[in-house]
């Protein structure tokens, strides 16, 4: 077994800064969404459904899109169904398949909450960076995202 490749001070700083940013930003966005009785996971599901044709997605595709296990997504959808935000519908092409469908209440919620959420993303992230810094983040993160997608 080879010796571990410890992180250099610069690598350690970059890694820990990334972790802190992710945790702090998600915590802040989650707290602000709670004012609308939503979690970050709820909001992500509503966004995915609102952007999908007919405001519906197969549960398996939604789990992949939100990077959740099928079991965890099923529990999440059950909580959202209880709030009237989504509904489940059988897939007529595949008896084993189920769709998650955005309800009228879910659509009204995303329309009401999205402006506040976008303002929060701007305040806590986008507006803190220059256009060049945003471009550099995309350039830096895209290859990592693609690498990790292949491993799923």
Span 62-119, pLDDT tens digits: 999 999 999 999 999 999 999 999 999 988 777 778 999 999 999 999 999 999 999 9
- Give the number of other Cβ atoms within 10 Å of residue 85's Cβ: 25
Residue 148 tokens read as: 């990790």
Measured CA to CA, the distance from residue 17 to residue 21 in angstroms comes to: 6
Long-range own/partner contacts, residues 121-130 (CB < 8 A, 24 or more apart): 121/29, 124/25, 124/28, 124/29, 125/25
pLDDT tens per residue across span 29-43: 999 999 999 999 999
């Amino acid at each position: 077994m080879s010796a571990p490749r410890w992180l250099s001070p610069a690598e350690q700083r970059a890694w820990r800064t990334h972790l802190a940013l992710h945790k702090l930003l998600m915590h802040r966005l989650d707290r602000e969404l709670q004012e609308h009785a939503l979690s970050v996971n709820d909001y992500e599901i509503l966004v995915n459904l609102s952007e999908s044709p007919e405001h519906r997605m197969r549960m398996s595709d939604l789990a992949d899109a939100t990077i959740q296990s099928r079991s965890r997504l099923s529990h999440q959808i059950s909580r959202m169904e209880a709030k009237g935000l989504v509904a489940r519908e059988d897939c007529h092409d595949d008896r084993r398949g189920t769709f998650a469908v955005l309800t009228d209440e879910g659509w009204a919620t995303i329309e009401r909450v999205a402006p506040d959420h976008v303002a929060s993303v701007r305040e806590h992230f986008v507006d803190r960076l220059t256009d060049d810094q945003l471009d550099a983040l995309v350039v830096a993160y895209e290859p990592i995202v693609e690498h990790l997608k292949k491993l799923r």
